[in-house]
Amino acid sequence: MPRTAANPDSLHGLEPYKETKGEEYMNEKQQEHFRNLLLAWKAELMAEVDRTVSHMKDEAANFPDPADRASQEEEFSLELRTRDRERKLIKKIDATLELIDQDEYGFCEACGVEIGIRRLEARPTATLCVDCKTLAEIKEKQISG
C-alpha cells in the first residue's frame, strides 16, 4: 500500500478519514470515503494485472539455456501467484463494496458491534471487530495445533 512522500499516512492517494465530534458512525460521508478507498485500491490492483500481462508478453523468450529458461519460469510463476492472491483480494473488495451499498459496512458480522474507523482504515475489507478476530485466530491456532 503505497504512501506518498508528502503524507506518509496517505492510503491509495487518499487521506485518512477524520471524524468530527458527535458524528454518527458509518454515515454517508464515511461510507463514501471507504467506497473511494476501496475503488482506488481495486484500480491499483487492476493496473498491476495489466502490467503483469504486458511484462510477461514482452519478456517471454525461449531461452536455449535450461537454467535461464527455469529462472524465467520461476519469475513468472511468482508473479502469477501474486496476481492470484490479488484476484482474490479484488473479490473481497467487491464484496465489501456490496456491504457499503447494503448499509452493512463497518459492523462486525459475528457480534454486530462497530468495527471502528481506525481498524477499517488499516484493513478496509475487515468484517470482524478486533475482539472477534482475536477469538477466531485463537480458535484457528487450537484447531491447527
Q: Could you tell me if 92 and 118 lie in one domain?
A: no
Query: Given this model, what pLDDT does residue 10 score?
Result: 60
Q: Could you tell me if 96 and 50 lie in one domain?
A: yes
Query: Given this model, what pLDDT does residue 119 score?
Result: 96
Average pLDDT of the segment spanning 79-103: 95
How sure is the predictor about 102, in pLDDT bands with cuts at 50, 70 and 90? very high
Q: Could you tell me if 98 and 62 lie in one domain?
A: yes
In a domain, 1, yes or no: no
Average pLDDT of the segment spanning 61-85: 85
Neighbours of 145 (CB within 10 A): 4
Q: Could you tell me if 59 and 80 lie in one domain?
A: yes
Residue closest to 127 by CA, chosen among 101, 100, 145: 100
Cβ–Cβ under 8 Å, residues 96 and 38: yes
Cβ–Cβ under 8 Å, residues 72 and 59: yes
Q: Could you tell me if 40 and 75 lie in one domain?
A: yes
Cβ–Cβ under 8 Å, residues 106 and 114: yes
- Boundaries of domain holding 133: 106-145
Q: What is the DSSP letter of 109?
A: T
Q: Could you report the per-residue pLDDT of 14-64, keeping only the tens digit for each?
A: 899 999 899 999 999 999 999 999 999 999 999 988 888 777 777 777 778
Q: Could you tell me if 60 and 70 lie in one domain?
A: yes
Give strand pairing partners of 114: 107
Cβ–Cβ under 8 Å, residues 82 and 104: no
What are the CA-CA distances from residue 46 to residues 75, 95, 121 (Å)?
Answer: 20, 16, 21
Match 471524524 to its residue by C-alpha cell: 19
Q: Could you tell me if 29 and 84 lie in one domain?
A: yes
**What's the predicted TM-score (pTM) here?**
0.80
Number of structural domains (the chain) is 2
Cα separation, 34 vs 127, whole angstroms:
13
Q: Could you report the per-residue pLDDT of 112-134, keeping only the tens digit for each?
A: 999 999 999 999 999 999 999 99
Is 129 labeled as ligand-binding? yes
In a domain, 43, yes or no: yes
Match 479484488 to its residue by C-alpha cell: 90
In a domain, 38, yes or no: yes
Is 132 labeled as ligand-binding? yes
How sure is the predictor about 3, in pLDDT bands with cuts at 50, 70 and 90? very low
Find the CATH number of the domain harbouring 86.
Answer: 1.20.120.910
